[in-house]
Amino acid sequence: MLNTTLCYIEKDNKYLMLHRVKKENDLNKDKWVGIGGKFEENETPDECMLREAYEETGLTLTEYRLRGVITFLSNEYEGEYMYLYTATGYKGDIKECNEGNLEWVPINEVTSLPIWEGDKLFFEELIRDRGFFTMKLRYEGNQLVESDYKLHN
């Protein structure tokens, strides 16, 4: 199972979203996602998220919160544990990203963008802000066929 992070950086009721249009052979091609990526050797989830945020945006996050852990299962791709974050504080200026185009999107418009079906489910939990949660999402191809959710208070 892969270990990855995903972070939604918030400013003025908008999330910084990455439109994945630049990478070759990209599983997320043409999708809108938060920022993040795969763990490097000996990294913690926080270290991975902070490194990926800086690499993809040029921003150094100063206030962030781990919101949940998502388990992705697929009949086509390697399984994945994704640590889901939001961030509200940062330093620096946004730079160009080599994986796609960064854009501030109003939070209430994110689910109308081309995003994964499972992303809509965990995005709704971020908005509800009821506490730390875990979620299992199982895909067959690009089709979400199972989802399971648990709130941990």
109-113: long-range pairs with CB below 8 Å, 24+: 110/15, 110/17, 110/32, 113/17, 113/32
- Tens digits of per-residue pLDDT, 31-63? 899 999 999 999 999 999 999 999 999 999 999
| Number of CB atoms found within 10 A of residue 87's CB | 23
pLDDT at 98: 86
User: Do 8 and 90 touch, CB atoms closer than 8 A?
Assistant: no
CATH superfamily of 2-152: Nucleoside Triphosphate Pyrophosphohydrolase (3.90.79.10)
Would you kindly state where each structural domain of the chain is located, as residue ranges?
2-152
Mean pLDDT over the full length of the chain = 93
Reported confidence tier of residue 25, pLDDT bands at 50, 70, 90? low
Residue 98 in tokens: 């080599």
Percent of the chain, pLDDT > 70? Answer: 95
Rounded to two decimals, the pTM is 0.93
Reported confidence tier of residue 26, pLDDT bands at 50, 70, 90? low
- Tens digits of per-residue pLDDT, 90-132? 999 999 988 899 999 999 999 999 899 999 999 999 999 999 9
114 or 66, which is more confident: 66
Kindly tell me if the per-residue pLDDT of 23 is higher than 80: no
| Number of CB atoms found within 10 A of residue 73's CB | 16
- Helix H, strand E, coil C: the string for the chain is CEEEEEEEEEECCEEEEEECCCCCCCCCCCCEECEEEECCCCCCHHHHHHHHHHHHHCCEEEEEEEEEEEEEEECCCCCEEEEEEEEEEEECCCCCECCEEEEEEEHHHHHHCCCCHHHHHHHHHHHHCCCEEEEEEEEECCEEEEEEEEEEC
